[in-house]
Amino acid sequence: MKVQANDIQMNYELTGKKDASVVMLSHALGSSLSMWDPQMEILESRYRVLRYDTRGHGGADAPANAYTMELLGDDAVRLMDALEIAKVHWVGLSMGGMVGQSIALNHSDRLLSLALCDTTAVVPREAQTLWQERIEAARSRGMQTLVEGALDRWFTSGYRSGNHLELELIRRVFLATPVDGFVGCSEAIRRLAYLDRLSEITTPTLIVVGADDPGTPVAASEAMHERIPDSILVVLPSAAHLSNIEQAGAFNTTLMDFLREHGSTVA
């Protein structure tokens, strides 16, 4: 489905139980709402589920300019407004977790709970060169030059050698991501600096990370856990960055347990 929100055309799916509270899913850089396929069946059995394509990805518009994390957070809130949804349980992975932090810090009244998965709260100065190299590579040579490196970070070697259908689907979505969207969101990510503000978050928070995540490692999740009051940290064994896919069963159990503890299914 398409809707105009925050001056762009956004793409979303709203499914599940009509009278239940809403779980909103936000995906990783270079992905799309399809990244959440392994979570849909179990979430739809108890909740209304809103998943969407972030600005610059999937079926959303991809303006050719640098984005900010605050802009991406505003996009999500304006989408909620357009759909007349007051509050959500937010589940964000990687970039989606960064967007979730923006909402928790700037629009906390719109959240019932917050799940930050395989993400971080700050991109250090020493990582700026790496992000600039990715941006320049995408602009000059296209997404195909970045896809294998992304998959190496996103999945363990054991999972990659297993010839999983999900791996090929993620590859196709990455390659289909507009360069302008990838660059715009990369500019937002490289400027991420929420770590010192995390103590302001009062929303019930779950932090999930794959034990083998090289991009947003366990230490990054521990740093968030130390600063967000009463947060819960769960480390999933044998998972890299896209832990919701590689260890879908353990991820789903962890998420559903948290949602049951921190909110009714009734809207």
**How does pLDDT run across 212-229, given as a tens digit for each residue?**
999 999 999 999 999 999
- In this prediction, residue 266 carries a pLDDT of 56
pLDDT above 80 for 265: no
pLDDT above 70 for 103: yes
Percent of all residues in the chain with a pLDDT value above 70, rounded to a whole number: 98
Place of tokens 């709402």: 33
pTM, to two decimals: 0.98
Q: What is the C-alpha to C-alpha distance for residues 161 and 175, in angstroms, rounded to an integer?
A: 20
CA 68 to chain centre: 15
pLDDT above 60 for 267: no
Decide if 118 contacts 208 (C-beta within 8 A).
Answer: yes
State the average pLDDT over residues 91-104.
99
Task: Say which DSSP state 162 is in.
Answer: T
Question: Mean pLDDT of all residues in the chain?
Answer: 97
The per-type count for the chain, helices as H runs and strands as E runs, is 11, 8
pLDDT above 70 for 264: no
**How does pLDDT run across 34-70, given as a tens digit for each residue?**
999 999 999 999 999 999 999 999 999 999 999 999 9
**How does pLDDT run across 167-196, given as a tens digit for each residue?**
999 999 999 999 999 999 999 999 999 999
- In this prediction, residue 164 carries a pLDDT of 84
> To the nearest 10°, the Cα dihedral for 24, 83, 170, 140?
-120
Helix (H, G, I), strand (E, B) or coil at 193: strand
Query: Which contiguous run of DSSP H or E holds residue 220?
Result: helix 218-227
Outline where DSSP puts E strands in the chain: 2-5, 8-16, 22-26, 48-52, 88-93, 111-117, 205-210, 232-236
Which pair of structure tokens corresponds to residue 182?
């990838």
CA 234 to chain centre: 17
Hey, CA dihedral for 11, 152, 157, 124, is it positive or negative?
A: negative
